[in-house]
Amino acid sequence: MRFHVLTIFPEFLESPLKEGIIRRALQGGSIEVHLSNIRDFALDKHSMTDDRPFGGGEGMVMKPEPLAAAIRKARAQCADSHVVLLSPQGRKYDQDVAAELARSEKDLILVCGRYEGVDERIRQNFIDEEISIGDYILTGGELAAMVIIDSVTRLLPGVLGCAGSAEYDTFSRGGLKFPQYTRPSVFEGHPVPEVLLSGDHEKISNWRFAAAVQMTKEKRPDLLADMAFSNEQLQVLADHGVFLGYTGTGKEKN
């Protein structure tokens, strides 16, 4: 998968690309990340990428010409592309959107705004989709672009060391992930649940399933509304003392 990040601060992304799983994905060829400096496409000798807003008002707006040239160049390097403007006004980013992008065969062109944002004509004529990473305002789109690169990359085949590990992540099955423990088996007087030491895979799997649902019920009850359970699963939950207050599918919750 190829990511093209268009930004006036390419150095901003260099450090996170040098660490951990993302570094390994780059080295192994699962992803390519091309950082492009929008300033290189400025038309004037001062490499201006922003200007005052027509009609007056606060702050500066990113000029259309350098952005248009940067997007055109990035597009020309792709067989097929999806141009995303990072924006607090966009579709709210979540694990489903990450999975959708990871499945796509297209190169992702991530356009990072700064200042008061980009000239509206760029959004209207050059952008396939706006994505927001949450209802808060960042100083620029670079962190949001990195969030997308990071979360999409770990879903690509072969990127995570342990196949199937993303499958059990929080949100991947609708709810939260089960709690996890590592050695020592007793820490400051607190033992790990005994079942995890039993070596009985079925019992462990059932305990984890029930614990995950219990966690979801406690921390994110809103997610339960969209989760459906088979009768067998409801029985496992009941056996572990987890009661949802309804039977059948999540949609029937009252």
Ligand X SMILES: C[S@@+](CC[C@H](N)C(=O)[O-])C[C@H]1O[C@@H](n2cnc3c(N)ncnc32)[C@H](O)[C@@H]1O
Catalytic center residues: 88, 116, 154, 169
Interaction between residue 63 and ligand X (CB under 6 A): no
Which amino acid is present at 191? P
Burial 167-192 (b: 16+ CB within 10 A, else e): eeebebebbbbbeeeeeeeeeeeeeb
How crowded is residue 71: how many other Cβ atoms within 10 Å of its Cβ?
24
Interaction between residue 101 and ligand X (CB under 6 A): no
- In the block, tokens 């995890």 appear at 196
Specify the pairing of strand 61-62 against strand 107-111: unpaired
Minimum distance between the CB of residue 16 and ligand X, rounded to whole angstroms? 16
Encoding tokens for residue 223?
Answer: 């997610």
Q: Binding marks (x or -) toward ligand X, 109..138, rule CB under 6 A?
A: ---xxx-xx--------------xxx-xxx
Distance CA 240, CA 234 (A): 10
Interaction between residue 66 and ligand X (CB under 6 A): no
Encoding tokens for residue 199?
Answer: 């070596």
Q: Which of 7, 10, 41, 88 touches ligand X by CB under 6 A? A: 88
Interaction between residue 211 and ligand X (CB under 6 A): no
Using DSSP, state whether 161 is helix, strand or coil.
coil
Q: Which of 10, 66, 141, 174 touches ligand X by CB under 6 A? A: 141
**118 vs 213 by CB, closer to ligand X:** 118
Minimum distance between the CB of residue 138 and ligand X, rounded to whole angstroms? 4
| Longest alpha-carbon distance in the chain | 72
**131 vs 234 by CB, closer to ligand X:** 131
Binding site for ligand X (CB under 6 A): 86-89, 112-114, 116-117, 132-134, 136-141, 144
